[in-house]
Amino acid sequence: MNLKLDVPVMSPEGKPFEKTLEDKSPVMARTLCMKGVLDCKSSHEAAPSIKYDRGVLAEKIINSTDETDYKVEEVATIKNSVGEFYDPWVVMKVWNILEGK
């Protein structure tokens, strides 16, 4: 499944989320996906082999440039991690990107 994650995630106001108050550059879907995979509660409580796999997946996400091929299982892990880590608005926006909407 080819995904393009280097796209901005839009706020409820229709503007891209900004990285920080000082850094007004847009937050990209790949950053949110990577952070979800690394920082969700189930990643911290996982067995070492699962932590390793999630680290490999996070590296693949952050190093993605244009469209990158992901296995169905990888997309499921990303969606579950994002769903666990973020609020409903971000989950909806990121899932829509992952589903090509």
Residue 63: alpha-carbon gap to chain centroid: 12
* 32 within a domain of the structure (yes/no): yes
* 39 within a domain of the structure (yes/no): yes
* 82 within a domain of the structure (yes/no): yes
Domain of residue 74: give its range.
27-98
pLDDT digits (tens, 9 = 90+) for 3-61: 999 999 999 999 999 988 899 999 999 999 999 999 878 777 888 999 999 999 999 99
Q: Which residue matches tokens 């995904």?
A: 3
* 4 within a domain of the structure (yes/no): no
* 33 within a domain of the structure (yes/no): yes
User: Structure pTM?
Assistant: 0.89
* 50 within a domain of the structure (yes/no): yes
Q: How confident is the model at residue 69 (pLDDT cuts 50, 70, 90)?
A: very high
* 49 within a domain of the structure (yes/no): yes
The set of residues, in sequence order, having a beta carbon less than 8 Å from that of 64 and lying 6+ positions away, is 3, 5, 6, 30
* 5 within a domain of the structure (yes/no): no
How many domains in the chain? 1
Contact indicator for 17, 86 with CB cutoff of 8 Å: no
Rounded Cα gap, residues 23 and 19, in angstroms:
6
